Structure 1
């Protein structure tokens, strides 16, 4: 499902309680589709879940199409804003409640919650004839998507966001209050549990080619495990639930539905989307136009991809020197992740092939930063946007989360096994790469875990002499640019404060764990109170 475009007869816009006003009128157009006249056949039920998928991309540019990569990457210690954007609040830990980027993200994910709630109500209340397996699948998708949207909202704004489990039925529903501690976490867990029960395996879902990219049992189990590990962020003050996460991750591994693809680079190319390693990804589509008439595309390559001065790129956010240094000598992933010295070439739309020397010669400043090759085409596209999917959860993440759970439970040798699977793949020759890159014809040279332990290397101040530190390092390089680093540091830091030191060195403080509630929402809903960043 490269594009979220099953028939959409109902267009879901921003929730009424988020729109700034609620009109004091009740007008009915008998020719207009409404809730009362919809959900009358299975095709309409199929269409009902699509807006909840679309909200991940972001109808108001608050999702993965644009704003979200700033909000997820900038707060970490791995990316830094460049001279092109002054000021950018997201990496200063001082984002104001008036920030438009945070407001758009708030709107888009509440659109997703609203759409999922509408779909659940329509599907559950449907009185017509429907195959039981189809109904289960649709309910599973809606539960998964509601859990996913709530997980984003909670990670970004904290656990006191409102809990909304059904469409608005009265005036009071338009102005919800804050949730209480633990409520959102319980909702996320329950939604992913329900989805895991109801959804088919990936092989069954993908048997219908039009469903490729939709949520599956493996995606629900994997996100359920991730929620258990992220519990310190989703339910403040509570420890991660490693045993529960381990059970779910083992289910995914034992299903044999997923495998690491041979070439690491295939996880960031448009031609190899929804591959065997993909557990869940955002389905981008680069249609005609770029502003207003193409709502399923990504601006990522333009804004955080290639260096400024090359191919019209904007280069607002960039991997920093710490990220460059984190890659071990002989790790091909460095050159598949970054635009850097001794790396890949970039071809401009005029046909000019450019290299690192060219980029540095045309770059105004910030020469100690790098470009993000991951999810960026090697050849400039005519549009500002492109259609490369964001891989939100890969099988490599399943393996490394499982290794983390095993290590926490004392199974050191078991943890090594799964870390080694990811590290071994990193050494593979990549025959489809640019011919001048050494790993196109020779394997990488990073050692296995025992070899790394024997070297007793220190990288960026972290001594790789134990499994937890190696998992930290491996997640850093494997998922660089995939939105995990900041949240890894936070969740580990809740149990061991040393992991917060890299963030504290940049000015982070506990109150800045989440973005503030948008002031526009607080002005509209007097029942709602902001989080610590609003004070």
Structure 2
């Protein structure tokens, strides 16, 4: 064995005498963009920052469904059982005592996105005016600051205390020295708000390149930031209605008015259309992560929504992994009595509709657009009627399935193979979302009448969303508008 090492060492010495050491060290790595060349192309650096919006995966979904829907009472994880992925701790609220890799992956990928934004800003600072012109450069800086704030909003939502790494930290290579307790929760939010405000002040209402962020998206995010801060610092003891900051609530009213007054956005006429791929960039969509089918963009695989790749229905798609299962609590919440929600009593009994068998229990029509249930058509198509066989582990996760994040089955398989995904946009802000934020803030600033108008407009749209897609459930639907008596005081209006 010693002799073998001698021969290998001798061969290495011989190689060293016949090959220039400097040539070997100076060889550019393959498949990697040269740093200086990349930085000298500011518009491409901005594009690389945009690309991070959809750079998600089922184990680090940027739409955060495992940490929102799953951690609340809206859904169950699904899949083959409790050990399928590391998300089970989220649904049983044991995340403080477990260390799932999903948390680490999400942290890493979101900071990769922040890094792309910072590098794009440095490129714009150095080359932007010369290569793009002063006005375009100014707009691109605003776009990238919007993107950075978008990713930081997710970070602060998930992790609360995070290190603020901006372009100055990146330029000076101080990432490892930047602490996560340098700024308070409120100060971090202030930095996020500043980025969105810079974007808001510069960006146009409508972009020539349609898929770039604009002023209306920035206004929507500013409203959301102020609405989050308006309730307190996020800790249970110092958060909620007793800690309302009316100045912040007024900011929500102001920024949502910008959205409300813009003629390019509004309620899509039928609620069901919002969640069909052909309507994914309708007037309802203010800011959405764009996806594509390979047949649309002429690439090999397209740009899928990898956040939702596990959420197809079992037995309906070739790779329906049956995650994101609506809960019974969510279904019960759609109950109505005389067309109005059963605020206090909805969960006293377990109920569910059966296709063709109406009874005294009536439902908000949005149930049939949201939750797939046995005996009902899957995404409105009778030839694909759901049965109990369309649940992978019913004894653990029940028989419901989620419909909003998937296309209709008749449109064919979007991506073939064991890792099927769908070309469904991920909405960040819909017009309806922003108007509900406005209604919430109006209630807290004592304008109950306008809040009622907004909420009733949305309910009227739901009432009108029966005939086109869910006529088979018409005799099980009942929804009414709120009378004035429901908006005489804040407590009832909040419900």
Q: Normalization by structure 1: what TM-score? A: 0.69
Q: For this pair of structures, how many residues does the alignment match?
A: 416
CA pair 83-193 structure 1, distance change in 2 beyond 3 A: closer
Pick one of 227, 230, 235 that aligns with 2:228. Answer: 230
CA pair 171-215 structure 1, distance change in 2 beyond 3 A: closer
Q: Structure 1 stretch 232-241 or stretch 388-397: which is displaced more?
A: 232-241
Task: Provide the rounded CA distance (Å) in 2 between the counterparts of 1:319 and 1:176.
Answer: 40
Quick check: 1:113–1:149 contact (8 Å CA) kept in 2? Answer: yes
CA pair 118-363 structure 1, distance change in 2 beyond 3 A: closer
Pairwise CA distance, 1:284: 1.7
Task: Provide the rounded CA distance (Å) in 1 between the counterparts of 2:49 and 2:59.
Answer: 14
- Corresponding residue of 2:51: 54
Task: Provide the rounded CA distance (Å) in 2 between the counterparts of 1:28 and 1:301.
Answer: 41
1:214 aligns with 2:212: yes
Task: Provide the rounded CA distance (Å) in 1 between the counterparts of 2:292 and 2:43.
Answer: 20
Please list the CA deviations of residues 140-195 of structure 1 after superposition, one character each: whole Å capped at 9, or x if unmatched.
2101111110000000011x210111153445433421132133111111011011
- Corresponding residue of 1:45: 42
CA pair 170-196 structure 1, distance change in 2 beyond 3 A: closer
1:402 aligns with 2:438: yes
1:337 aligns with 2:370: yes
Pairwise CA distance, 1:129: 5.1
CA pair 423-61 structure 1, distance change in 2 beyond 3 A: same
CA pair 124-426 structure 1, distance change in 2 beyond 3 A: same
Pick one of 125, 143, 146 that aligns with 1:144. Answer: 146
Bigger CA radius of gyration: 2
- Corresponding residue of 1:450: 483
Task: Provide the rounded CA distance (Å) in 2 between the counterparts of 1:187 and 1:110.
Answer: 16
Pairwise CA distance, 1:256: 2.5
* Bigger helix share: 2
Runs (5+) with no aligned partner, structure 2: 1-24, 337-361
1:154 aligns with 2:156: yes
Quick check: 2:113–2:151 contact (8 Å CA) kept in 1? Answer: yes
Runs (5+) with no aligned partner, structure 1: 1-25, 457-463, 470-535
Please list the CA deviations of residues 322-378 of structure 1 after superposition, one character each: whole Å capped at 9, or x if unmatched.
101111334221111110256323699xxx934244546986424745110112122
Task: Provide the rounded CA distance (Å) in 1 between the counterparts of 2:47 and 2:131.
Answer: 21
Quick check: 1:143–1:191 contact (8 Å CA) kept in 2? Answer: yes
Q: Structure 1 stretch 306-315 or stretch 277-286: which is displaced more?
A: 306-315
CA pair 30-303 structure 1, distance change in 2 beyond 3 A: closer
CA pair 450-242 structure 1, distance change in 2 beyond 3 A: same
Written as runs of structure 1 = structure 2, the 5 A alignment for 1:425-444 is 425-429=461-465, 432-433=468-469, 437-439=472-474
1:189 aligns with 2:186: no
Task: Provide the rounded CA distance (Å) in 1 between the counterparts of 2:108 and 2:466.
Answer: 41
Task: Provide the rounded CA distance (Å) in 1 between the counterparts of 2:27 and 2:191.
Answer: 34
SS of structure 2 residue aligned to 1:376: coil
Task: Provide the rounded CA distance (Å) in 2 between the counterparts of 1:226 and 1:36.
Answer: 38
CA pair 305-338 structure 1, distance change in 2 beyond 3 A: farther
SS of structure 2 residue aligned to 1:128: helix
Please list the CA deviations of residues 412-444 of structure 1 after superposition, one character each: whole Å capped at 9, or x if unmatched.
11110111111111111456526x5345xx996
1:323 aligns with 2:330: yes
SS of structure 2 residue aligned to 1:72: coil
The structure, 1 or 2, with the larger RCO (C-alpha pairs under 8 Å, 6+ apart) is 1
Task: Provide the rounded CA distance (Å) in 1 between the counterparts of 2:232 and 2:313.
Answer: 32
CA pair 145-404 structure 1, distance change in 2 beyond 3 A: same
Written as runs of structure 1 = structure 2, the 5 A alignment for 1:8-19 is none
Task: Provide the rounded CA distance (Å) in 1 between the counterparts of 2:92 and 2:108.
Answer: 23
Written as runs of structure 1 = structure 2, the 5 A alignment for 1:367-382 is 368-379=398-409, 381=413
SS of structure 2 residue aligned to 1:353: strand
Please list the CA deviations of residues 258-292 of structure 1 after superposition, one character each: whole Å capped at 9, or x if unmatched.
1001011222111111110111111123449xxxx
Written as runs of structure 1 = structure 2, the 5 A alignment for 1:241-320 is 241-287=248-294, 294=301, 296-299=303-306, 303-307=310-314, 312-320=319-327
Pairwise CA distance, 1:318: 0.9
RMSD: 3.4
Quick check: 1:154–1:161 contact (8 Å CA) kept in 2? Answer: yes
Task: Provide the rounded CA distance (Å) in 2 between the counterparts of 1:170 and 1:130.
Answer: 25
Quick check: 1:56–1:64 contact (8 Å CA) kept in 2? Answer: no
Quick check: 1:140–1:194 contact (8 Å CA) kept in 2? Answer: yes
Task: Provide the rounded CA distance (Å) in 2 between the counterparts of 1:299 and 1:122.
Answer: 29
Pairwise CA distance, 1:410: 1.0
Task: Provide the rounded CA distance (Å) in 1 between the counterparts of 2:134 and 2:327.
Answer: 51
Task: Provide the rounded CA distance (Å) in 2 between the counterparts of 1:315 and 1:38.
Answer: 41
Q: Normalization by structure 2: what TM-score? A: 0.74
Quick check: 1:109–1:149 contact (8 Å CA) kept in 2? Answer: yes
CA pair 451-90 structure 1, distance change in 2 beyond 3 A: same
